[in-house]
Amino acid sequence: MYKYILRRLLQMIPVLLGSTFIIFAMVFALPGDPTAGMCGERPCAPAFVAKFKQEHNLNDPLPTRYAKYMGNLAQGDLGTTFRDIKVADELKQRYPTTAKLAGMAIIFETLIGVIAGVMAGIRKGKFMDNLVLVSTLFVIAIPIFVIGATLQYYLGVKWGLRPVTVSPQATVNELLLPAFVLGSTSVAYVARLTRTNLVENLRADYLRTAIAKGLTRRRAIGLHALRNSLIPVVTFIGADFGGLLGGAIVTERIFNIQGVGGYLFTGIHNRDGVSVVGTVTVLVLVFLLVNLLVDLLYGVLDPRISHD
């Protein structure tokens, strides 16, 4: 078990190096001058440009710059942007908001998805099943910005039931609607995954045994079948959580949430390579760690999986 975790942690190193290098290379390969627009309506003075390039190592060849950056990173320095803001400070402020939003979205998708999936699964072929199948198809088919903007308009602007946008404090109340929107697509997948697995497990031999043991239908399905059906669902939710922790560019922009998704977007938009690379490095790391946790959880949920 510990060996497995250690091996997985070591495997992260090449993944992290590879992904950061690709991002680094791509960001700096983008055309455009980072000093453009820094000095108002006119081009910056050549002396300033030279100093700027010197300070930010822009004259070095790519491998050198990458090596210097990684050297700083190893010491815990995520870099300083062209506008002299420490990436680490910015993330410290924004990451809690993103984590909160992701966590709430996961709670939504788990609760609604599993309940809908169970209701559909135990009434296979009946009205409830069809209702869930059709409505999830509907949700999957509609792009998230349409769902977000529509709900924002009706619930927020027109009926005034929910806050329209999210303040920098990002309270739980303000995040309810954005989290619902962010989790909506995954709700549909969770519901369908739960349903399919439950239907399959309801036919399993061990469920027949559970009935033959004289268990109530509720216990046989709710404990024996559901426990087995949720193994792949939990895996999906875990992986989804890893993805959501990378920020939600669209949802964050619709509701004006100050999270990492928006930060990343602005960074790309402004050719601010350092902030993009720094953020992505953190996101990759988080994603890998969450996936490791999911794999460990999988072993706990399914005793047949061994991590030895």
In the complex, which residues of this chain contact other proteins (CB under 8 A)? 204-206, 208-216, 219, 224, 227-228, 231, 301-304
Phi, psi (rounded to 5 degrees) for 32: 120, 155
Closest C-alpha to 67, from 21, 111, 104: 21
Smallest distance, other proteins to C-beta of residue 308, A: 13
Distance CA 279, CA 224 (A): 43
| Residue linked to tokens 């998230």 | 144
User: How distant is the alpha carbon of residue 160 from its chain centre?
Assistant: 29
- Answer yes or no: are the C-beta atoms of 34 and 49 closer than 8 Å: no
Smallest distance, other proteins to C-beta of residue 107, A: 24
Given the complex with other proteins, which of 42 and 304 has the nearer CB atom?
A: 304
Given the complex with other proteins, which of 155 and 231 has the nearer CB atom?
A: 231
Given the complex with other proteins, which of 92 and 227 has the nearer CB atom?
A: 227
Supply 91's token pair. 């993330």
Closest C-alpha to 34, from 52, 17, 60: 52
Given the complex with other proteins, which of 7 and 213 has the nearer CB atom?
A: 213
Smallest distance, other proteins to C-beta of residue 208, A: 6
Smallest distance, other proteins to C-beta of residue 229, A: 10
Supply 251's token pair. 């949802």
Smallest distance, other proteins to C-beta of residue 223, A: 9
Given the complex with other proteins, which of 7 and 208 has the nearer CB atom?
A: 208
Reported as half-sphere exposure (CB side, CA atoms, 13 A), residue 277 has a value of 28
Distance CA 295, CA 243 (A): 15
